[in-house]
């Protein structure tokens, strides 16, 4: 807006607030209508209706889904040159998320409603239920006359306003076309909201169907979500516990009815087959009920969320004065290092370093691309260490910033809206005596890094809502697919925290640098998956193995496992042949000069063996471009399949959302 025009608007504003004078033709009609609604507000007051911190935390929890869906878009828009900051408000106009320079974060919890501060982009867009832009002196309150804002309303699937997406500058006009950029960002958010709502409905139907199925069993069944809350229970379980009301258990924290300690709870719900509780006790209506676990299965809902199905039977008569708790494992008791398959020189060094790391209690930082086996190495170190406590994993990139502190440190009963009755134990406390694995540590918000650093220094935790610290003895292993040293130099990761975590550094090589390990890893996956599917172990043809060894594997071992699982499912005979492998593998140059059926030991194979006349390394370089093109095609396909939902794309590809955004930017993919 030029200075003359803003001056004319200011004169019109001054006349209006002084005596109600309306200068026709100077002010946009929609602005004048808003001014008239704003009469009665002191235009010179510095009104700041801001929530106290506790109420703000409650707001953030109430809006956690909207925040998690909108945050990646907010961050992307904030990269537009010439913008001060981007904000998200709730349906009442309270700022619940923001991306911009640190000085603007004091706006969190401030209410930008038209009732409070008169004409403004957020409040007026809320009232008008449409995109709105307010420039300079068009703001009703004088203190905002240097501000420029544009806002668009966000709707739920029933077309109700649930928030506002807005951009602001506090001293200069907004960049040209920013409103269109906002609308594009809004479209992505709306697609994700609609997708989530549809998935929620599908999940509801799915749960109803599951209820009908598990009610047929005489064993007791609990279905527990990723937060350890009971989301389904069958009639047999109710009968065993002497409880009549099913709804009284739905939503209840499993730990509240488990009579055992947190280690038992952690092992009961663990995905690690070596952590298996055979016996435990539940709190029934008439006392403790000693139980035996007869089945445990981790499954996924239609929306991709994880759930654990627990089947159990009563050990004997209910007793009110005795507790039956035993711990046990099933399967072999060999070290988890046996699962670190590979004989290449690099991988042998990784195993040696990991074994040395297991013998001390120092923090470990594992760096490597997605799918290289960071959690597998972390679990192996824990198992080899001899620690008696559990292995507790938490993905720092998958939990909204507002909830990460409660996930790590726990919280007391009533500490915020939606807090679980009785409070909740944090992952650090849950891992007492064992190992806490912090995956995607590079995604941890900067302010949370301070809290983690403090914990690493004194090993004390204080739950949210409590003032009583507690000593916790855990070993920290962190992992990231970023170069944390680079993140430190860019100011995105604390240097002091980096050195606290990086006492022992393990860098995992990508699978493309472990060509000689592809055959043994492939056979390991074949053996494991065939056993899981209860079918005879398949062999693999030379031609099929050639394709696997020539491929670039951007998804690393995770992608290889996916390919092998797919091949086992579709194999009709007792051999995996090249014709049932994915078509994109066949675009790569097959190895012709190496036989894998009776090849020499890996340590005897040199890197100059050839792939269609090229050395393997030359074939790698030849295929690099094709790999990038296929990765781009895969991202585009998944974006289409998931309706633009970046979280689902990232989950499917086994990568962080920030990684997908970075690849989309590199590949120039627009939603």
Q: What is the pLDDT of residues 570-581, one digit of tens each?
A: 888 889 998 899
Comparison of pLDDT for 209 and 316, the residue scoring more: 209
| Model confidence band, residue 336 (pLDDT cutoffs 50, 70, 90) | low
* Cβ-based neighbour number of residue 578 at 10 Å: 18
pLDDT at 589 over 70: no
Nearest Cα to Cα of residue 387 among 360, 426, 356, 350 = 360
pLDDT at 213 (0 to 100)? 59
Are 351 and 338 within 8 A, CB to CB?
A: no
Tokens of 587: 């675009």
pLDDT at 605 over 50: no
Picking from 87-101, 242-256, 261-275, 571-585, which range would have the lowest pLDDT averaged per residue? 261-275
* CATH architecture, domain 337-509: 3-Layer(aba) Sandwich (3.40)
pLDDT at 260 over 80: no
DSSP-assigned letters across all residues of 446-496: HHHHHHHHHHHHH-EE--BT----EE---EEEEEESS-HHHHHHTTSS-HH
Distance of CA 394 to the CA centre of its chain: 9
pLDDT at 43 (0 to 100)? 93
8-197 and 337-509 agree in CATH topology: no
- In CATH terms, the fold of domain 516-588 is Helicase, Ruva Protein; domain 3 (1.10.8)
- Nearest 5°: the CA angle 306, 652, 550 is 135
- How far, in Å, CA of 552 to CA of 511, rounded? 8
For range 644-665, the mean pLDDT: 76
Instruction: Give the strand pairing for 364-367 and 132-135.
Output: unpaired
What angle separates helix 616-641 from helix 657-666, to the nearest 10 degrees? 110
**Count of positions (residues) in the chain:** 671
pLDDT at 503 (0 to 100)? 94
Q: Quote the percentage of the chain above a pLDDT of 70.
A: 81
Q: Which residues contact 471 (CB under 8 A, 6 or more apart)?
A: 459, 460
pLDDT at 277 (0 to 100)? 58
pLDDT at 335 over 50: no
pLDDT at 478 (0 to 100)? 96
Tokens of 1: 């807006």
- Nearest 5°: the CA angle 16, 21, 23 is 95
Picking from 127-131, 140-144, 505-509, 521-525, which range would have the lowest pLDDT averaged per residue? 521-525
Here the contacts of 612-621 (C-beta below 8 Å, separation 24 or greater) are 614/589, 616/515, 616/549, 616/550, 616/591, 619/550, 619/588, 619/589, 620/512, 620/515, 620/552
Tokens of 275: 């952590």
- How far, in Å, CA of 389 to CA of 383, rounded? 10
Handedness of CA 617, 623, 625, 630 (dihedral sign): negative
pLDDT at 504 (0 to 100)? 95
Q: Which residues contact 636 (CB under 8 A, 6 or more apart)?
A: 669
pLDDT at 435 (0 to 100)? 93
pLDDT at 586 (0 to 100)? 73
Comparison of pLDDT for 191 and 150, the residue scoring more: 150
| Model confidence band, residue 611 (pLDDT cutoffs 50, 70, 90) | very low
Instruction: Give the strand pairing for 460-461 and 575-576.
Output: unpaired
pLDDT at 237 (0 to 100)? 86
pLDDT at 417 over 80: no
Q: Where are the alpha helices (DSSP H) in 252-344?
A: 254-257, 262-268
Domains of the chain: which residue ranges?
8-197, 217-314, 337-509, 516-588, 616-667
CATH code of the region 8-197 = 3.30.450.40
Nearest Cα to Cα of residue 107 among 95, 89, 119 = 95
217-314 is classed CATH 1.10.274.10 = no
For range 643-659, the mean pLDDT: 73
pLDDT at 326 (0 to 100)? 23
Which pTM value belongs to this model? 0.45
616-667 is classed CATH 1.10.10 = yes
pLDDT at 532 over 90: no
For range 557-576, the mean pLDDT: 89
pLDDT at 408 over 50: yes
pLDDT at 80 over 80: yes
| Model confidence band, residue 386 (pLDDT cutoffs 50, 70, 90) | confident
Are 436 and 476 within 8 A, CB to CB?
A: yes
- Mean pLDDT score of the chain, rounded to an integer? 81
Are 170 and 58 within 8 A, CB to CB?
A: no
Tokens of 178: 């920013």
């Amino acid at each position: 807006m030029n200075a003359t025009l803003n001056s004319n608007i200011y004169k019109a504003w001054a006349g209006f607030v002084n005596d109600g004078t309306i200068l026709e033709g100077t002010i946009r009609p929609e602005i004048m209508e808003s001014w008239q609604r704003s009469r009665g507000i002191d235009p010179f007051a510095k009104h700041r209706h801001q929530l106290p911190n506790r109420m703000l935390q409650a707001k953030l929890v109430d809006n956690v889904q909207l925040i998690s869906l909108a945050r990646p878009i907010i961050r992307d828009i904030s990269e537009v040159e010439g913008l001060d900051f981007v904000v998200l408000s709730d349906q009442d106009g309270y700022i619940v998320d923001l991306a911009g320079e640190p000085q603007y974060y004091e706006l969190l919890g401030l209410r930008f409603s038209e009732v409070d501060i008169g004409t403004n982009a957020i409040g007026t867009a809320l009232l008008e239920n449409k995109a709105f832009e307010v420039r300079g002196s068009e703001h009703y309150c004088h203190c905002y006359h240097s501000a420029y804002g544009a806002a668009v309303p966000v709707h739920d699937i029933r077309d109700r306003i649930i928030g506002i997406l807005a951009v602001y500058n506090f001293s200069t006009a907004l960049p040209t076309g920013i409103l269109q950029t906002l609308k594009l960002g809004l479209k992505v958010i709306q697609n994700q909201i609609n997708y989530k709502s549809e998935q929620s409905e599908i999940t509801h139907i799915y749960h109803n169907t599951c209820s009908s199925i598990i009610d047929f069993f005489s064993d007791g069944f609990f279905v527990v979500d990723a937060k350890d809350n009971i989301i389904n229970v069958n009639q047999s379980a109710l009968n065993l516990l002497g409880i009549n009301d099913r709804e009284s258990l739905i939503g209840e924290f499993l730990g509240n009815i488990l009579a055992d300690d947190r280690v038992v709870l952690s092992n009961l719900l663990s995905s690690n087959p070596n952590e298996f509780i055979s016996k435990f006790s539940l709190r029934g209506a008439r006392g403790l009920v000693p139980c035996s676990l007869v089945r445990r299965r981790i499954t996924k809902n239609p929306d991709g969320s994880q759930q654990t199905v627990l089947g159990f039977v009563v050990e004997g008569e209910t007793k009110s004065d005795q507790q039956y708790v035993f711990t046990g494992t099933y399967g072999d008791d060999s070290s988890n290092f046996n699962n670190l398959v590979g004989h290449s020189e690099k991988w042998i060094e990784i195993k040696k370093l990991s074994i040395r790391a297991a013998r001390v209690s120092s923090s470990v930082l594992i760096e490597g691309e997605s799918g290289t086996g960071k959690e597998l190495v972390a679990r192996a170190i824990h198992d080899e260490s001899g620690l008696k406590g559990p292995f507790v994993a938490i993905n720092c990139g998958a939990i909204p910033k507002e909830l990460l502190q409660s996930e790590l440190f726990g919280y007391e009963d009533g500490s915020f809206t939606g807090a679980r009755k009785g409070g909740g134990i944090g992952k650090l406390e849950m891992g007492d005596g064992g190992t806490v694995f912090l995956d995607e540590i590079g995604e941890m918000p900067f302010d949370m890094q301070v809290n983690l650093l403090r914990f690493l220094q004194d090993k004390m935790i204080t739950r949210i809502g409590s003032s009583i610290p507690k000593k916790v003895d855990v070993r920290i292993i962190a992992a990231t697919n970023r170069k944390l040293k680079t993140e430190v130099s860019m100011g995105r990761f604390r240097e002091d925290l980096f050195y606290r975590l990086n006492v022992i550094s393990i860098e995992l090589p990508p699978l493309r640098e472990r060509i000689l390990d592809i055959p043994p890893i492939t056979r390991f996956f074949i053996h494991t998956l065939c056993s899981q599917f209860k079918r005879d172990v398949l062999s693999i043809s030379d031609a099929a193995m050639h394709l696997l060894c020539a491929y670039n594997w951007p998804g690393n071992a995770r992608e290889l496992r996916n390919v092998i699982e797919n091949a086992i499912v579709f194999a009709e005979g007792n051999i995996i042949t090249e014709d049932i492998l994915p078509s994109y593998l066949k675009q790569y140059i097959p190895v012709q000069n190496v036989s894998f059926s009776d090849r020499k030991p890996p340590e005897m194979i040199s890197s100059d063996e050839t792939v269609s006349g090229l050395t393997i390394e030359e074939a790698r370089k030849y295929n690099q471009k094709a790999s990038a093109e296929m990765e781009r095609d895969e991202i585009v396909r998944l974006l289409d399949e998931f309706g633009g939902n970046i979280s689902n794309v990232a989950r499917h590809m086994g990568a962080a959302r920030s990684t997908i955004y970075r690849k989309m930017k590199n590949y120039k993919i627009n939603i």
